[in-house]
Structure 1
Amino acid sequence: MKKELVVVTGGSGFIAIHIILQLLKQGYAVRTTIRSEAKKAIVQEMLTNGGITDFSDLSFSLADLSSDDNWEETMRGVTYVIHVASPTPKLNFKNESEMIRPAINGVIRVLKAARDNQVKRVVMTSAYGAIFAGHKNRKTPYTEKDWSNLSEKHIHPYQKSKTMSEIAAWDFIKKEGQGLEFSTVNPVGVMGPVLSAKYSHSNIQIQEMLEGKVKILPNVNSGYVDVRDVASLHILAMTLPQANGERFLATTGETLSMMDVADILRTAFPDYASTLPTKTIPNAVVKIVALTNPKLRMVASIVGTYAETSNEKAKTLLNWHLRSAKTAIIATAQSMIDLGIVK
């Protein structure tokens, strides 16, 4: 019997690699897109570290979100697409459209190719950034019904690009999808085991804390979720009939401050206790420094904001099971220590 073929875009990414790992273990064939041949070895190294020994069900396709080349071939004979890749956010962008246009164009490119090749369903990795931004005086947990408020002037262009690309995707499905099934997964801060020293930079804050590079922390609250559970939620959203046409917020439902994260690490890794930060920086100071430091702009836009989230929908509709935020944070640090990433 021929295995169902799933395309996973951006195979060398942190979330994508965990999705590929679970798909291969569950008996699917996977074709993953990479932007350069050099990424092949990295993908295989990460999968090997994740326990995969047989690569006969894995194939690669060279395709870039910024070009039409090869998307048609990538989608041939495919049952499902999990679209994880997104253009890397620029820190020093000249204007917002440098971040927003590529994000929108990329997802439409993938959806068109999927539709034209009779793919059954596309699951898109969207973001919590498409849900929470620009809401003033929020008092109740964010859910899938929420969308970031684009009329609010302090929204960071990254959150804008996530929101606008997801809106564009739903719009395409409604007007031009021709029956293509679609759902999105919107993760909060993603933690969990890193599978290679060449890992993505999504967890760099943990590495920097353990290395003593972070002396003081901004007052940012966030939800967290384990990458293994984000991966399993994508697969549930891909296969279950009731997931079609739905968004799913990937969160444990816990909200932690950056200091809570440092405290979890301090308790779990006493050898690093002396390097971990113990002080926080006042919100007003963050905002002033961000005026001249582009690296802090995104942080400045979210310091002191409400960040409670609900995972009721994914748990009740899809019977999603998940680890605690603490487990995810410890797993991140442990994997970085084991792989020699933490210097």
Structure 2
Amino acid sequence: MNETVLVTGGTGFVARWCIVALLKRGYTVRTTLRDLAKAGAVRRSIAAVSDGIDRLTFAKADLMNDDGWGEAVTGCAYVLHVASPLGGVASGDRDAYIRPAREGTLRVLRASVEAGVRRVVMTSAAATARPPLKSGLVSDETRWADPDDPQFDAYRVSKILAERAAWKFMESEGRATEFTTVLPGAVFGPVLSTENLGSVKIIGDLVAGRPRRLPRLGFWVVDVRDLADLHVTAMTAPAAAGERFIAAGDFMWMEEIAATLRAKLGAEGHKVPTRRLPTALVRLLAPLRSDLKPLAPLLGRQFPLSSEKARRVLGFAPRPGRNTVVDCAASLIGAGGTGSPRA
């Protein structure tokens, strides 16, 4: 296959698996890095699970800079825009998320349209389709989340604003370039690197015994391998053009995830916590703790969500969440990504 696909943010968890999925299907892949010194590590991690590594090349580009994006997309039939900022909350700087997500997305789209890319598939987030928590409405692709809703932290606000800006841009300036967005839940699964882990840190912390007590929080889980396959399917399926697709499998409470890890990891799971953190205590402390404040609206809520559209239109068939979290934990243990590496 002679077609070239650009994957943005090649050091990322999802991006690496998208590269694997593309190489396995015979595509030539180019991926962007802010620092080309990391190219060797990315190449080695992908070569460990996929053939065709000779079809992977690298381009230097940064979401916050115009330089390099024209060269990165030149000659590409498709673009998977996966890159997104993952830092900034600790400093309380919402702009550290929002500006790179929104402005970076527009840089990628402008360059893609100018280069005549056939279709761009953008990684958004399931939260961008979430209605108010007390509304009783189901999260589906017809919904647009309110960025001012207090249930959303800075990362999710950045996803909402970036996806809105992307659709607006493509509707007015997209020309012949088609556009699709994929909205994943909490992304777990085996890691190819311990860099840029995102939501996988939740699993790593549990294996390492953190937190000592579990808040009543739950996640719509999606396996990174299934998510990568969905991106590639959405890239070429005629019915995917101009559409949003929620990517989520099973809903799992943290206690369920912890119990699964305890049961399946054997001795490696002995630190996984089992005791629940009282919800009343979390709500009491939340106004005083920046790390707890974003959790308060989500405590005890299993908000309804539907991935029926992705299943029906694109054949999305996510694997069981139990398998995903165990594979995730096992890979982290092997890579030393839990703070407790295997001897």
Per the normalisation by structure 1, the TM-score is 0.93
Aligned match of 1:295: 291
Q: Structure 2 regions of 5+ residues with no counterpart?
A: none
**Which residues of 2 match residues 95-174 of structure 1 at below 5 A?**
95-132=93-130, 135-174=132-171
Letter in 2 for 1:10: G
Deviations 1:111-150 (A, max 9, x none): 0000000000000000012122x61324354211122123
The separation in 2 between residues aligned to 1:66 and 1:138, in whole angstroms, is: 37
Structure 1 spans left out of the alignment, 5+ residues = none
Moved over 6 A (4+): none
Supply the distance in 2 between the matched residues of 1:176 and 1:234 (Cα, whole angstroms): 23
Deviation at 1:94, TM superposition (A): 4.7
Q: What SS does the aligned partner of 2:270 have?
A: helix
Moved more, 93-102 or 24-33: 93-102
Matched residue type, 1:84: V
Percent of aligned pairs with the same residue? 37
Query: In the alignment, what sits opposite 1:3?
Result: 2
CA contact 2:97–2:155 (8 Å) conserved in 1: yes
The equivalent residue for 1:237 is 234
1:42–1:198 Cα contact (<8 Å) kept = no
**TM superposition shift of 1:95:** 5.0
Check 1:146–1:43 CA distance in 2 against 1; reply closer, same or farther (3 A cut).
same
CA RMSD of aligned residues (A): 1.8
Structure 2 matches for 1:1-343, cutoff 5 A?
Answer: 3-52=2-51, 54-132=52-130, 135-198=132-195, 200-252=197-249, 254-342=250-338, 343=340
Residue 38 of structure 1: SS of its match in structure 2? helix
In the alignment, is the contact (CA less than 8 A) between 1:148 and 1:163 conserved in 2? yes
For the structure 1 residues 307 and 46, does the alpha-carbon distance in structure 2 shift closer, same or farther, using more than 3 Å as the test? farther
Q: Distance in 2 between matches of 1:47 and 1:300?
A: 38
Q: Give the Cα separation in 1 of the matches to 2:100 and 2:336.
A: 35
Distance in 1, matches of 2:168 and 2:245, equals 17
SS in 2 for 1:299: helix
How far apart, CA to CA, are the structure 1 residues paired with 2:106 and 2:194?
32
1:88–1:274 Cα change, 3 Å: closer
**C-alpha separation between the residues in 2 aligned to 1:95 and 1:269?**
37
Deviation of 1:195 (Å): 1.5
Give distance in 2, aligned partners of 1:273 and 1:89.
29
In the TM superposition, residue 199 of structure 1 has moved relative to its aligned partner by 5.7
